[in-house]
Structure 1
Amino acid sequence: MAGRRRQGHGRRVMTGTSLSPVTAEDLVEALRLEVPSLRTDASGGRRAQYSYDASNYRVPPLAVAFPATADEVAAAHRVCHRLGVPVTVRGAGTSMAGNALGTGLVLDLSRHMRRVLEIDPSARTARVEAGIVLDDLQAAVAPHGLVFGPDPSSHNRCTIGGMIGNDACGNHSVRYGRTGEHLLGLDLVLADGTRVVADRDGLHAVDEADRERVARLTASLRGVVEANLAAIRLTLGRIPRQISGYQLQHLLPENGFDVVRALAGTEGTCATVVSATVRLRPKPPASLLIALGYDDVVDAAEDVPLILTFSPAAVEGMDEAMVAAMRHRRGASSVTGLPEGRAWLYVDLDGDDPRQVTADAERLLGELKAAGRMVSGRLITDRSERASLWRVREDGAGLASRLTDGSATWPGWEDAAVAPDRLSGYLRDFRALMAEHRLTGVLYGHFGAGCVHVRLDFRPDTAEGRAAMRAFLAEAARLVVRHGGTLSGEHGDGRARSELLSVMYDQQMLDAFAAFKHAWDPEGLLNPGILVDPRPLDADLALDTGRTTATSTVFALREDPGGITAAANRCVGVGRCRSHIGGVMCPSYRATGDEQHSTRGRARTLQEMLRGALPGGWRSRDAREALDLCLSCRACSSDCPVGVDMATYKSEFLHHHYKWRLRPLSHYSLGWLPLWAALAGRMPRPVNAVMGSRLGPWIARLGGVTPKRRLPAFHGHRAWLRGVAETAQAPAAVLVVDSFTKAFRPELAGAAFRVLADAGLPAQARGDVCCGLTWITTGQLGIARRVLGRTAAVLDATEGPIVVTEPSCAAALAKDLPELVDSEAARRVAARVQTFAGALAERVAAGWRPRRVPDEVLLQTHCHQYAVFGAGQQRDLLRDLGIDKITEVAGCCGAAGNFGFEQEHYDISLAVADQALRHRLEAVAPGTPVLADGISCQMQIEHLVGDGRPGAVHLAQLLDDPQPPSPS
């Protein structure tokens, strides 16, 4: 049985009935001595990052370890077993039920144990380590025409080990079922460090010396089954998604004593999976998506039994709240192609013959129309449109954690399931229960399997809210049981539902579960508090503890009325920032694979700092370390489903952290670059001569700047004026010539001036304003506010759109200006700001076409432009201009303003570039223009391609034709 654990600071643990003398320092020292190769971390910041998953809970561990081999996992278990320290194994940490939290040692297998060990295409199997991300497995087997069937919405970051722990399913579970159905063998480590292999023939000891230990375990498991044969047969495995509790039915004689299947869904409470042999399936050659619109999710559920007669691969449902959340966060264009309705079903049909699949789809539409509940429906055959619609379903779950009115929604009852033919009745009663408790939420899920996900607007931050939450969950449990359902359909019971298992199962079955766990883990050290001897569902809630709150911030944080605490608490742990594909965030995590350097890891560290759990408050060294590799690229503000804006939080933190203190040298050199550039512009020749001499690298080091980069030459302070002479046309816009352009690429001002004039938008060029970006990113917000206040006053006196050639400066004026300067002028100016691409897009829509356009480009979109003005702004413009081939770099360049030029960040900057940019540059055909509007992007590209090869050009330079048109 699991022992009780002391809560609070987490520096000691309770095991059995006595207080263990083991501290974090003791544990780390024991691991260092016995497993010297194992990296272990008990720092405050690391413990903060692993105190949370994607659930409502907070459980600080003693320490976190990052094993690289099964031997290290086994050795760590042996140490913890001897010391009586609990062990929790973790993959991506995306559990919504609190399955991935523990008071002892947390083993993160996702950092290093993520390899494909073997693929056998003829047998259609693969052997993989438990920490491998599902999408990485899919990429490895795709060349063989194979797939791993289960596909949770978190497929781009969830691990196979986590999927086994929860017996996860996914969007196509109607076709592929649960993860356990695809397991052929498991390599296990028991609580005492014993290595065991489980396959369909039973359990086998890896070491000869452990044969007797494994034989006793096998006998104990058989004894549990023999003592409960009738109860297991009558109670378990009744519906497709019955995952709550342990799956003891797989150990029945008629099921072949299948230990592998029985271990799926045990949530790390019985054994640690270090690798698995999985069954693969051939990828269907033809598939087609049908989108169906309904007035109501209950109507949609009524049609599920009819749809299932067509043997679909997927039947997914969602309500209008999810779509509204997606449009609110990502814009109206993020959801296109949905048929009319207020609730929707996605039905995926597949097969060998495309014509037959289409015929089946049309027949299904006909039968649904005849049934009378469907409002409208359409077939989607275009791959890009299908991907866009699926993205609504996959990303919507995270987006739904914050409703359009700004209120938060929470898991806790997000995973109940019933038989598909009882789904409509359950949903009808469930919505009545929500109304009775005055709760609202977002309904979605795997309707074809009867599994409903819902996030509800609980109030776990107040005593009354927690009491109401507990009362609702108890009634919801009784409701789903009345409908013959299960508390969990794929997320596991975890801390959220384990206490409620007594509503679903009688005492005999609960005792059988306890005996099953005891056979595996007699001391109760593996993930205690879950399934057996559970913690109360309202214990360890993250918002059920006091916290210190910063009383004031320089940024207004208008979208977070609760200030910096509310802003940091936007992170609910869905882990989208841990993906290595799609979007741009989080560049440093993609380069390091370290949770500390993910947006989530930083947000969790800030949460703990603001809670008072990390020493120092704003002076916290742990928080500074977590934020150090944040590139301030802003991508999280758009890519994160809940809009965590780490660039802003970092600036605010640096402002307070270094207030009245000496700052890093780069804050004085790069942070004050507009001033130094203006001074250098008064005497560019001697400055360039000195910086180009042997003294240059030495001076760079003195300023905290890496000498490994060639610094750009300064231009005269009036050089930019040569191309922007006044014209006879009355100005219709303002062209802001930023400090970077004036100092390092003054020719761009003339190109932009000419292109705007040609497009019918003659501009007055202003080089007397500054966006304050370098002071913002280095946290010198007092100076930034003064600079921006003056800029707002100057630009507010002008008319027309404000076109900014440098994307990062445009983003600062559009986003940071109204957050730092509380004036109507600031808000008016911010509303007028456009990127150069944005301004031209309007002119193209009005019919303008440039005189010269290349056939092909390689496009590096600036991260700030991506985040603030839209991911596809520049790409869409290029397409509208008729450019046939656009190769887009999917990721950050790695320079990111001052980051890539700081001496201590140079290596990470290049590692980020290696993720995508370098490969694209190496593959681009000679003569193909490389388009990058941001000066930091341009300088990184120039650095990567080296001398003798052309670098990147700005959009204005790409389209500029300095020669006037010949007279007609």
Structure 2
Amino acid sequence: MADHTETEQRDLAKELAAAVRGEVSSAAADRALMTMDASNYRRVPRAVVAPRDAEDVAAALRVCREHGVPVVPRGAGTSIAGQATGVGVVLDFTRHMRRIVSLDPGARTAVVQPGVILDDLRAAAAPHGLTFGPDPSTHSRCTLGGMIGNNSCGSHSVAWGTTADSVRELDLLTYSGERVRAGRGTDATGTPAGLPPRLRDGVKALVDGELALLRTGYPAGLPRRISGYALDALLPEAGTDLARALTGSEGTLGVLTEAAVRLVETPAARVLAVLAYPDESAAAEAAHTLLPHHPMTVEGMAADLVGSATGLPKGGAWLFVEMGGATPEEAAARAAALCRAAAADGTTDHTVVTDPAGQRALWRIREDASGTATRLPDGSEAWPGWEDCAVPPSRLGPYLRDFRALLGEYDLRGTPYGHFGDGCIHIRIDFDLLTAPGIRRFRAFSHDLAGLVVAHGGSLSGEHGDGQARAELLPKMYGPELVGLFGRFKDLWDPAGGLNPGMLVRPARLDDNLRFDVLPRRPVPVEFGYPHDKGDFSAAVRRCVGVAKCRNTSTAAGSPDVMCPSFRATGEEQHSTRGRARLLHEMLAGEVITDGWRSPEVHEALDLCLSCKGCRSDCPVGVDMATYKAEFLHHHYEGRRRPAAHYSMGRLPQWLHTAAPAAVGANALARTPLAAVAKRLAGIAPERTIPRLATEPFTRWWWRRRPPATGRTVVLWPDTFTNFLSPEVGRAAVRVLEAAGLRPLLPPTAPLRPGFRVRRHRPLCCGLTYVSTGQLDQARAVMRRTVEVLSPLVDEGRPLVVLEPSCAAALRTDLPELLSGDPRAAALASSVMTFAEALVTLAPEWEPPRIERPVAGQTHCHQHAVLGEAADRRLRQLAGLEGELSGGCCGLAGNFGFERGHYEVSVACAEDQLLPAVRKAGPEAEILADGFSCRTQLEQLGERRGRHLAEVLAEGLGDVRG
């Protein structure tokens, strides 16, 4: 297991590929994707194998044994202690081994492969009134194999316990190739059942020889004792539960190939009681007193985590307590009784949330905390490492006070939250892991905190396992004798030390292998300002901590989430936001990805990024991959020829402006065989139809009419798409704005005014198409001119109303971030309003026409991510347009869906949410699509026509002709 040469690596990959039926790769990109999990640690594997079945796992282990290469089993890679990283061969179970083998409602059991996603199992069990009890916040992407490896818990552990409480049998393969079926109980010889003779005799001898130590060496009264090996489960009085003993072993003893798990009955009704307390300490003191009421959850959060979240009762900290019942009335009654008891014990206020949508909104705050807690209110970075210590629930209050005091001694900050009912605290702390003094302080604090946890009778890990983060400190918790026994148990199961070495037993130091070590220490020269990361591109990339919300493959009912459409279409890690961030991290490191900005691996991963900006809002830490992609493309093509699509569609505003006078002829040519030649030369997908040019652009229509002279003046932005491709939207918007008492005016140099010469006129532009293709020099030039022209109007207090959501988002975010040194850019960005915002904010007394029609369609991805849709919801409500719009992305996304090679992914994205929502809508429903791309995608995929909200409202007013 020493350093290896490139030849050895190629030979290993070649033999693995010959031995297994699943995919094998030693390519730089695939290895780079697996260097990190959600922890502070990084290791570079030699190869990645995606086994198809248990036989593939056995074959891979055989090859690795022959080469002396370690093996690391990996699920979704959301582990927080480093145990899903390794230097050998990574077994990726998420690609193939994700089948629910069987589900027996009567026995309340299921048999699953290790790559099964928790939410998929829960969805399969739900029709039978059952669920899998443990539910970590990563439930939409974590795997059962990973949960078993870490002994995961989740918010419902006060009701249903840990994963170990839900495991019945485990099928494993040892590094030596032995097959194990681990269950509970003993065979006729009094030894654990399901073991081959060597392991059977060894386990019995180890337990029989250390009965006293096993009975006295573990702390009592800890519902969340996850640290170390659970060898006390092998005691006779514990039922000799080998499956339980192996749960939480972090892939260091055997590779899981199948598991039989217990399911639990889920209550027919649930309500959420949110209890407010003066501060965090009061909430922590009260949490354990609620347990006699048999809650399903007791989750704690303080004000410094929830920020401006709405729907919470007045207080400084909160307990989220879920109560169940056979009926909604019973659940509500139980919640009311709980609230009365809590009020007598010090709550400042409370609220009971009964509707599922309201509950989901509040739970989302809690579930996103593992990401949001990585940025403190002042923007400082905070990191895991002491993410989940646990103490007896009755000790939580005193422990938390001492913990806060220790943070103060080390001048550290963090925001505790977590499973207060089980005495388990999550926190991200603002460790300095970039400098030697900071790392020394991290190490010293870790030792002191371990002592504090033990002094309170706690466990170093209460949920996420020890991995590398805490295993070095296990002697503080268990003493050297029991830790020595852990080592003997490891050697019995894995004498060659081939399974996940450096974890749990004989671990690496907690300050080794830090993922920050390889990053540049000085800021990388970049084009965007990255205002939330102090201009540092490395810091922007570091935002991705690996919680992998972008790997969601299903959308909860009522969820508006967009991220990450390309991953949902392909299922490939490199096409997730996390995968792309990992590749950018490795690009900056220069060890695996060695070509810097010229990297083909990064380019390939970013090629299918739709620049939907969904991650900007949906990623808990605000990773902004659309901006990172634009930055990368700028440097990647600097001084080089670009793809044809960058010239044809990246510079679309120029082409449309030039072609406008010849629209009739251009439209005719676009319907002849010459169109195929033009598309090939322009890099456009042959499946696409070239949109028709307007024979009368919106601005030409504007200049031939006489606008009213009264009303509050707003500047109506003539974006490229509205102006040249869908002027009917602009005409409708003018009609509605004027009806609302507003006076829309175009910017003074709006194109195609009578008397202007096209060849001499430079149209104003938001720069969107240049940004999305990484032509940032050109983007900056057109943005600077826009700022110069509009700044006098902005200074006069005139709002800028933008009809196209993608253009509004570009003006609001891309423009000030690309012109970060110009204060006028920020002022212009703050003046931007959407069509709905202008009406709701500037004409609050106006009553839109009552249309009384259901709606369907999709919220524009940029609107969701950047602009918000509260005003749109309000305006639709006032107009009697009822119904919810879907989330996701239409898949066209500006130039993306038109580019050659993107068509299939573009359609797959549309089929994820948009097209099903439209097909489901009745014939009377109005299909809303404010974005030109969304309307075009609907039209070209043969679905119903979509319209901008302005068109619908204008129709309600009457004739919109100019």
Q: Report the TM range for the smaller structure's normalisation.
A: over 0.9
Match of 2:601 among 607, 615, 622: 622
CA distances 1:719-768 after superposition (whole Å, capped 9, x unpaired): 55336722233461111121112221122211111011112222013443
The 1:383–1:633 alpha-carbon spacing in structure 2 relative to 1, beyond 3 Å, is same
Partner of 2:926: 929
Match of 1:727 among 702, 707, 711: 707
Partner of 1:778: 773
**Residue-pair matches, total:** 929
Partner of 1:223: 205
CA distances 1:498-557 after superposition (whole Å, capped 9, x unpaired): 000011112221121112112221111111101111100000011234527564222122
Alpha-carbon distance in 1 for matches of 2:727, 2:336? 60
Partner of 1:758: 739
User: SS state of the match for residue 88, structure 1?
Assistant: strand
Alpha-carbon distance in 1 for matches of 2:465, 2:473? 12
Partner of 1:152: 136
Please tell me whether residue 362 in structure 1 is matched to residue 336 in structure 2: yes
CA distances 1:477-501 after superposition (whole Å, capped 9, x unpaired): 1111111111001100001000000
Partner of 1:294: 277
Alpha-carbon distance in 1 for matches of 2:698, 2:69? 68
Alpha-carbon distance in 1 for matches of 2:959, 2:885? 31
Partner of 1:466: 439
User: SS state of the match for residue 232, structure 2?
Assistant: helix
Contact 2:853 2:926 in 1 (8 A): no
How far did residue 695 of structure 1 move? 1.5
Alpha-carbon distance in 1 for matches of 2:376, 2:855? 39
Instruction: Spell out structure 1 runs of 4+ moving beyond 6 A.
Output: none
Alpha-carbon distance in 2 for matches of 1:243, 1:961? 63
Alpha-carbon distance in 1 for matches of 2:238, 2:899? 62
User: SS state of the match for residue 509, structure 2?
Assistant: coil
Partner of 1:596: 574
Match of 2:644 among 646, 651, 665: 665
Pairing of 1:687-726 with structure 2 (within 5 A): 687-716=666-695, 718=697, 720-722=699-701, 725-726=705-706
The 1:473–1:624 alpha-carbon spacing in structure 2 relative to 1, beyond 3 Å, is same
Alpha-carbon distance in 2 for matches of 1:267, 1:760? 66
Alpha-carbon distance in 2 for matches of 1:645, 1:417? 34
CA distances 1:38-81 after superposition (whole Å, capped 9, x unpaired): 21222222222211111111111112222222222221111112
CA distances 1:604-652 after superposition (whole Å, capped 9, x unpaired): 1111111222212111112111211111111111111111111111111
Q: Indicate the percent of aligned positions where both proteins have the same amino acid.
A: 48
CA distances 1:7-51 after superposition (whole Å, capped 9, x unpaired): xxxx56xxxxxxxx983212211111222x221222222222211
Alpha-carbon distance in 1 for matches of 2:721, 2:26? 43
Alpha-carbon distance in 2 for matches of 1:268, 1:778? 43
Partner of 2:848: 850
CA distances 1:128-182 after superposition (whole Å, capped 9, x unpaired): 2211211111111111111111111111111111111111111011000001111
Contact 1:754 1:962 in 2 (8 A): no
Match of 1:178 among 156, 162, 171: 162
Please tell me whether residue 518 in structure 1 is matched to residue 498 in structure 2: no
Match of 1:960 among 951, 954, 958: 954
Partner of 2:317: 343
The 1:915–1:103 alpha-carbon spacing in structure 2 relative to 1, beyond 3 Å, is same
Alpha-carbon distance in 2 for matches of 1:871, 1:232? 58
Contact 2:631 2:774 in 1 (8 A): yes
Match of 2:46 among 49, 55, 62: 62
Pairing of 1:527-926 with structure 2 (within 5 A): 527-545=500-518, 547=520, 551-580=524-553, 581=555, 582=559, 583-613=561-591, 614-716=593-695, 718=697, 720-722=699-701, 725-730=705-710, 732-766=713-747, 767-768=750-751, 769-798=764-793, 799=796, 800-821=798-819, 822-843=821-842, 846-870=844-868, 872-884=870-882, 886-926=883-923
CA distances 1:76-110 after superposition (whole Å, capped 9, x unpaired): 11111211111111111111111100000111111
Match of 2:56 among 65, 72, 83: 72
Alpha-carbon distance in 1 for matches of 2:185, 2:236? 12
How far did residue 873 of structure 1 move? 4.7
Partner of 1:43: 27
When structure 1 is superposed on structure 2, of 400-409 and 386-395 the one drifting more is 386-395
CA distances 1:933-960 after superposition (whole Å, capped 9, x unpaired): 11111111112225xxx41111111111
Partner of 2:755: none
User: SS state of the match for residue 496, structure 1?
Assistant: coil
User: SS state of the match for residue 834, structure 1?
Assistant: strand
Contact 2:72 2:90 in 1 (8 A): yes
Contact 1:402 1:408 in 2 (8 A): yes
Question: Which amino acid in structure 2 is aligned with residue 125 of structure 1?
Answer: T
Alpha-carbon distance in 2 for matches of 1:509, 1:285? 44
Contact 2:563 2:618 in 1 (8 A): yes
How far did residue 662 of structure 1 move? 0.8
User: SS state of the match for residue 287, structure 1?
Assistant: strand
What is the TM-score normalised by the length of structure 2? 0.93
Please tell me whether residue 233 in structure 1 is matched to residue 219 in structure 2: no
How far did residue 285 of structure 1 move? 1.9
Pairing of 1:355-504 with structure 2 (within 5 A): 355-371=329-345, 373-504=346-477
When structure 1 is superposed on structure 2, of 38-47 and 666-675 the one drifting more is 38-47
Question: Which amino acid in structure 2 is aligned with residue 953 of structure 1?
Answer: R
Alpha-carbon distance in 2 for matches of 1:571, 1:812? 23
Pairing of 1:24-173 with structure 2 (within 5 A): 24-35=9-20, 37-173=21-157
Question: Which amino acid in structure 2 is aligned with residue 29 of structure 1?
Answer: K
The 1:830–1:356 alpha-carbon spacing in structure 2 relative to 1, beyond 3 Å, is closer
CA distances 1:220-244 after superposition (whole Å, capped 9, x unpaired): 1122211211111112362211111
CA distances 1:433-488 after superposition (whole Å, capped 9, x unpaired): 11111111010111111111111111111111111111111011111111111100
Question: Which amino acid in structure 2 is aligned with residue 74 of structure 1?
Answer: A
The 1:262–1:962 alpha-carbon spacing in structure 2 relative to 1, beyond 3 Å, is closer
When structure 1 is superposed on structure 2, of 91-100 and 762-771 the one drifting more is 762-771
How far did residue 247 of structure 1 move? 0.6
Alpha-carbon distance in 1 for matches of 2:945, 2:290? 55
Partner of 1:328: none
When structure 1 is superposed on structure 2, of 910-919 and 352-361 the one drifting more is 352-361
How far did residue 365 of structure 1 move? 2.7
Contact 1:723 1:749 in 2 (8 A): no
Partner of 1:197: 181
The 1:872–1:909 alpha-carbon spacing in structure 2 relative to 1, beyond 3 Å, is farther
What is the TM-score normalised by the length of structure 1? 0.93
Alpha-carbon distance in 1 for matches of 2:425, 2:419? 6
Contact 2:219 2:458 in 1 (8 A): no
The 1:964–1:103 alpha-carbon spacing in structure 2 relative to 1, beyond 3 Å, is closer
Structure 2's unaligned 5+ residue stretches are 752-763
Contact 1:322 1:397 in 2 (8 A): no
Contact 1:549 1:610 in 2 (8 A): no
User: SS state of the match for residue 529, structure 1?
Assistant: coil
Question: Which amino acid in structure 1 is aligned with residue 85 of structure 2?
Answer: L
Alpha-carbon distance in 1 for matches of 2:45, 2:134? 31
The 1:927–1:369 alpha-carbon spacing in structure 2 relative to 1, beyond 3 Å, is closer
Partner of 2:757: none
When structure 1 is superposed on structure 2, of 354-363 and 582-591 the one drifting more is 354-363
User: SS state of the match for residue 951, structure 1?
Assistant: coil
